[in-house]
Structure 1
């Protein structure tokens, strides 16, 4: 689907959609328990539906309900009590990397053989660090095509013990291990070498697991490291200690609003003269992308956050341009496309660093944003680890043009915001917003965005 966006001035109030990250984990953790629980304000998107369907295949009973008074979506889960059954057919995770990683580790706890696959994008995303760790732990996990990507065949069970994994590619590998290890008979330990990227997502995993009564202990330890040249050094190693034979019991749980999804409209309101946007349902949580408030503040936006009531207000009544900033994206990879657009329309220079893990998402987002923003006149440079954007040099060059969404929901939504600023931007593969924000176009229309599809 193509969407053609005209210059637009957003004004109004929108309730933030539910967090995709929290919904994934809450559904999975509820499925690991045995008692029925109700998940309120849950996100029903393509990705979270993939997790729900996969959990059903492992034995969970999951139903969707709608509150007749509020029209709010709820999910009722009756789990399989930590004893997953073997799915009778391959699990298709669609486009969801989170689903694939969580279910791969769970499959290494189940009996029998489990096959996991997904769409074309998933079959290009590497899972090598997770497969290596699971195999070292006693399972037999095979990438059918021998490239570390799905389809995956999981046979044999992992054993409790000391696991070592590289944290530099994806935090989803760590979350998958953290949630499956409590089901093992005895204690386990996971040591993370290299900096753990996207750590807030692991924090979300631990937060919900602890809410379900599961203990996961985090600490740092100095350990000796032998470099390739034979030299010896010491570095901090992040370690998670997980007692075995634990039981999950999440109980009723309310999913918080999603800051990743909120970032698009908040950024549009900060950039566009005359815009005035209020977003509700955004309470403090472990989400790293709540940093969008700090980012917009640093860029000079008129923004306020009432944390007690979960309300963020952004306006640009004076029509001022924002200023470029430097941002370390190690903890906030999903904000990178939004920040690239922010930098293209801000004065000065914007540097996004520590973002090499953004290359391993639905698409290589550093490359994609460089290609697409260049088409609309931005002066942007892709580096090995991030992006350098000269808003100053881009200032008089920005113009509408057809751009590619790369079948990536975050690329599509960020380019849509660029279209609201300059007009004349047509984005293809726009249907991909269903992955994380099914109501995106409806919400944009509510606040005055002008577009055709």
Structure 2
């Protein structure tokens, strides 16, 4: 059976086996979205290489096609990866009246402002938890600018029909940074200059920095006034410039293998960049504070197994690595506190509830708080011998697999195919590192 093509609801049995070896980090899904969008908004043909294909990336490709960009898969310069040849018209043009965003929150929130530049109806649909993920920040802008929109009680499908105008856009800092990035993609194309004002400290600011970096690469100027993430000056009448580029490695996915190495024997993860702006690079610093034995080279990081210690983990700027760090904390000495993690409740699932529920089934001791978790570590291992569920969430499935290597008995995981959302090759890489699984259904 091809482990890269498991059905969403596939069930696997995971046997205790410590991970050891070297694995190549997938390309960054976050930067992949951004590079593909910038290429699609440029006039001319761009090549974006080193793409690790996933359901979320495919959703972004569909949205670009709906805006009249041509997107073709071509051979990559790197083994096991895909390159995309993208030809854009220089500005969004309506080529469809609806687009399916799958379960990708980034795709939906990045494209809604672009759809609002068309001055004709465009309907956004989605699946799973995406249907009800918050979009109020955009609705407030549409109300202020008298842009027509229609929803199902605030949920998808969402139809936008109007033309976004330049001006001052105010957003609270505690909303998803995806709203800021979505505006940053669209505002440079408008006829006038705009300002984005953040009315309170911006959470997940690193993701906005990644957007600014990508915009600059494609020739778009945005000024982060005083570098304080409180006011962005966006000149209008700009044009994206086509070019060739390569997507960097993904620290949020590398985090699973760093955690796997600390709970296993030794795992090295190559293809990462320590100069990256990705907030999830914080996994290295956090795990070092936990006492993990980490070694670095120019584009790789390795972690040797050993006993880790409790710490305080602030989730504000690195929410995506919290599930797997919870697994590490559950097997560390002492009491770990995870704070500022309320946003994890509105991801693909309520990740705080999911990790508490499923790790506790395996024998962990985790207490769920309003904005975080308290994790009472058990360095001796977890009992296992139970059935757990991925909650239709790729990061929950992968985190439980990493914890399973330190169980005394096998676990049965339902929803193993959910990894296809971001990392279809996860189970193949897991087995290549010595993980032992059996596909049951």
Aligned counterparts, 1:34-49, within 5 A: 34-49=43-58
Query: Is it true that 1:304 corresponds to 2:304 in the alignment?
Result: no
Aligned counterparts, 1:319-334, within 5 A: 320-334=306-320
Partner of 1:167: 173
Query: Is it true that 1:129 corresponds to 2:137 in the alignment?
Result: yes
Structure 2: how far apart are the matches of 1:68 and 1:369?
A: 38
Structure 1: how far apart are the matches of 2:429 and 2:143?
A: 45
Structure 2: how far apart are the matches of 1:333 and 1:180?
A: 25
Note the C-alpha offset of 1:47. Answer: 0.2
Partner of 2:393: 408
Query: Is it true that 1:384 corresponds to 2:370 in the alignment?
Result: yes
3-state DSSP class of the match of 2:103? coil
Structure 1: how far apart are the matches of 2:80 and 2:397?
A: 28
Query: Is it true that 1:269 corresponds to 2:295 in the alignment?
Result: no
Distance 1:381 1:68, change over 3 A: closer
Structure 1: how far apart are the matches of 2:349 and 2:247?
A: 27
Distance 1:253 1:137, change over 3 A: farther
Aligned counterparts, 1:282-361, within 5 A: 282-284=272-274, 285-306=276-297, 309-316=298-305, 320-361=306-347
Q: Is the 8 A contact 1:34 1:78 kept in 2?
A: yes
Distance 1:74 1:136, change over 3 A: same
Structure 1: how far apart are the matches of 2:100 and 2:200?
A: 31
Structure 1: how far apart are the matches of 2:132 and 2:49?
A: 34
Note the C-alpha offset of 1:220. Answer: 5.5
Partner of 1:436: 422
1:151 pairs, out of 157, 167, 187, with: 157
Partner of 1:259: 251
Distance 1:69 1:127, change over 3 A: closer
Q: Is the 8 A contact 1:137 1:160 kept in 2?
A: no
Note the C-alpha offset of 1:339. Answer: 1.2
Aligned counterparts, 1:440-451, within 5 A: 440-451=426-437
- Normalising by structure 2, what TM-score? 0.94
Partner of 1:228: none
- 1:49-103 deviation digits (Å, cap 9, x = unpaired): 1000110111001110124884531111111201x22243311111111111111
Structure 1 portions without partners, runs of 5+: 222-235
Which stretch shows the higher mean deviation, 278-287 or 63-72?
63-72
Structure 1: how far apart are the matches of 2:317 and 2:157?
A: 29
Partner of 1:243: 235
1:58 pairs, out of 67, 86, 103, with: 67
2:125 pairs, out of 105, 117, 121, with: 117
- 1:249-297 deviation digits (Å, cap 9, x = unpaired): 141111001111111111011112xx12111100121111111111111
Aligned counterparts, 1:80-119, within 5 A: 80-82=89-91, 84-119=92-127
2:224 pairs, out of 218, 221, 226, with: 218
Q: Is the 8 A contact 2:124 2:156 kept in 1?
A: yes
1:6 pairs, out of 6, 12, 15, with: 15
3-state DSSP class of the match of 2:17? coil
Note the C-alpha offset of 1:43. Answer: 2.1
Which stretch shows the higher mean deviation, 253-262 or 162-171?
162-171
Partner of 1:426: 412
Q: Is the 8 A contact 1:65 1:74 kept in 2?
A: yes
Structure 2: how far apart are the matches of 1:145 and 1:30?
A: 32
Structure 1: how far apart are the matches of 2:411 and 2:79?
A: 36
Q: Is the 8 A contact 1:58 1:85 kept in 2?
A: yes
Note the C-alpha offset of 1:203. Answer: 1.0
Structure 2: how far apart are the matches of 1:439 and 1:267?
A: 17
3-state DSSP class of the match of 1:75? strand
- 1:326-368 deviation digits (Å, cap 9, x = unpaired): 0111000001101110110000011111111111111111111
Number of corresponding residues: 428
Structure 2 portions without partners, runs of 5+: 1-9
RMSD over aligned CA atoms reads 1.7
Q: Is the 8 A contact 1:86 1:111 kept in 2?
A: no
Partner of 1:279: 269
Note the C-alpha offset of 1:134. Answer: 3.4
